[in-house]
Amino acid sequence: MLSINPRMLPRLDELEADLLARRQRAIDEGWRGEVEGLDLTLRFLRSKRAQAHRAAATWTVDLGMPTRPRPGR
Q: Give the residue from 42, 40, 37 showing the smallest Cα distance to 17.
A: 42
d(CA 67, CA 9): 37
* 33 located within any domain: yes
The confidence score (pLDDT) of residue 1 equals: 54
Q: Indicate the pLDDT class of residue 73, thresholds 50, 70 and 90.
A: low
3-class secondary-structure state, position 28: helix
Structural domain tally of the chain? 1
Q: Are 3 and 56 in contact (CB under 8 A)?
A: no
* 63 located within any domain: no
The confidence score (pLDDT) of residue 28 equals: 97
* 71 located within any domain: no
**Residue 4's CB: how many other CB atoms inside 10 A?**
19
Q: pLDDT, tens digit, for every residue of 7-58?
A: 888 999 999 999 999 999 999 999 999 999 999 999 999 999 998 888 878 7
Instruction: Provide the whole-model pTM.
Output: 0.71
Q: Indicate the pLDDT class of residue 60, thresholds 50, 70 and 90.
A: confident
Full domain range(s) for residue 47: 6-57
